[in-house]
Structure 1
Amino acid sequence: MSLSSPVSLGKTGDFTELVGLVRQSGLLDRRHRYYAVRIVLNLVVFAAGWVVFALVGDSWWQLLTAVFFAVMFTQLAFIGHDAGHKQIFRSRRANDAVGYAHGALVGISYEWWVNKHIRHHANPNHEEDDPDLDIPLLAFSRAQTHSKRGFLRWTTKYQAFLFFPLLLLEGLNLHWAGVRAVMTGEVKSRGRESVLLLVHVAVYLTAVFVVLSPPIALAFIAVHQGLWGVYMGCSFAPNHKGMPTIAPGTKLDFFRKQVMTSRNVSGGRWVDWLLGGLNYQIEHHLFPNMPRPNLRRAQVLVSEFCTRHGVHYAQCGLMTSLAHVLRHLHEVGAPLRARSRPAN
Structure 2
Amino acid sequence: MCKSDRELMDSVPIFSWDDVRKHTSKDDAWIVIDGMVYDVTKWKNKHPGGQKIIMNQAGQDSTDAWMAFHNDKVAVSKYLRPLCVGRLDPSENKQTELMKDFRELRAKVEKMGLFRASPWFFTFIMAHILLMEFAGWFIVYYFGTSWTALFVASLLLLCAQAQAGWAQHDYGHHSVFNSSRVNKFIHIFLLNFFKGVSSSWWNYRHYLHHGKPNTIRKDPDIRLEMFFLTGKVLPVEFGKKKKGFMDYSRQHQYWFLVLPPLLLPLYFHYEVPYFLWSRRLYVEMFWMASFFVRYVVMFKPFLGVGGALLFYLWVRFLESHWFVWTTQMNHIPMDVEYDGDLDWVTSQLKATCNVEQSLFNDWFSGHLNFQIEHHLFPTMPRNNLHKAAPLVKSLCKKHGLEYQCKTLFGAMKDIVESLRSSGELWYEAYHM
Q: Give TM-score, length-normalised by structure 1.
A: 0.88
In 2, Cα distance between equivalents of 1:294 and 1:338: 45
**Structure 2 residue identity aligned to 1:170:** L
Counterpart AA for 2:367 = G
Q: Which letter maps to 2:245?
A: R
Bigger CA radius of gyration: 2
CA contact (8 A) 2:231 2:337 kept: no
Aligned partners of 2:255, 2:429: CA distance in 1, in Å?
21
Work out whether residues 215 and 338 of structure 2, in 8 Å CA contact, stay in contact via their aligned partners in 1.
yes
The CA deviation at 1:322 is 1.1
Aligned residue number for residue 127 of structure 2: 40
1:98 is aligned with what amino acid?
I
Partners of 2:307 and 2:188 lie apart in 1 by: 30
- Counterparts of residues 176-187 of structure 1 (less than 5 Å): 176-185=270-279
Partner of 1:128: 217
8 Å contact kept, 1:263–1:281? yes
CA distance in 1, matches of 2:312, 2:136: 15
Structure 1 pair 340–147 and aligned structure 2 pair: CA distance change class (3 A): closer
Per the alignment, do residues 303 and 285 of structure 1 end up closer, same or farther by CA in structure 2, a change over 3 Å counting? same
**One-letter amino acid matched to 2:209:** H
Aligned residue among 366, 370, 377 for 1:276: 366
The equivalent of 2:172 in structure 1 is 84
Question: Residues of 1 paired with 2:305 and 2:397: CA distance?
Answer: 58
**Offset at 1:152?**
5.4
Shift of 1:143: 3.7
DSSP 3-state at the match of 2:330 = helix
Q: Which residue of 1 aligns with 2:248?
A: 156
CA contact (8 A) 1:265 1:316 kept: yes
Equivalent AA in structure 1 for residue 117 of structure 2: R
The separation in 1 between residues aligned to 2:242 and 2:151, in whole angstroms, is 36
What is residue 59 of structure 1 aligned with on the other side? 146
Deviation at 1:43, TM superposition (A): 1.1
- Work out which of the residue numbers 328, 335, 342 in structure 2 matches 1:244: 335
CA drift at 1:18: 1.4
Q: Is 1:49 aligned to residue 123 of structure 2?
A: no
1:170 equivalent to 2:259? Answer no
1:264-302 C-alpha deviation (Å, 9 max, x unpaired): 000412111110010000000011111111011111111
Q: RMSD value over aligned CA atoms?
A: 2.7
1:153, CA displacement in angstroms? 3.1
Instruction: Give the one of 92, 97, 105 matched to 1:18.
Output: 105
Distance verdict in 2 for CA 1:196–1:14, change over 3 Å: same
| Residue aligning to 1:70 | 158
Measure the CA separation in 1 of the matches of 2:274 and 2:175: 27
Contact 1:59 1:216 in 2 (8 A): no
1:315 to 405, 409, 417: 405
Aligned sequence identity (%) = 25
**Which residue identity does 2:128 align to in structure 1?**
L
User: Which residue in 2 is equivalent to 1:261?
Assistant: 351
The answer on whether the counterparts of 1:58 and 1:216 sit within 8 Å (CA) in structure 2 is no
Shift of 1:213: 6.4
Distance 2:127 2:184 in 1: 17
Distance 1:213 1:336 in 2: 48
1:65 Cα deviation after fit: 1.8
Asked which structure has the greater RCO (Cα within 8 Å, sep 6+), the reply is 1
Q: How far apart are the structure 1 equivalents of 2:305 and 2:285? A: 27
Alpha-carbon distance between aligned partners in 2 of 1:150 and 1:55, rounded to the nearest angstrom:
58
User: Alignment partner for residue 106 of structure 1, among 188, 191, 195?
Assistant: 195
Are the aligned partners of 1:67 and 1:223 in contact in 2 as well (CA < 8 Å)?
no
Deviation at residue 125 of structure 1 after TM alignment: 0.7
Mapped to 1, the partners of 2:154 and 2:349 lie a distance apart of 37
Counterpart in the other structure of 1:297: 387
- Flag the 1:320–1:179 CA change in 2: closer, same or farther, 3 A: same
| 2:292 equivalent to 1:198 | no
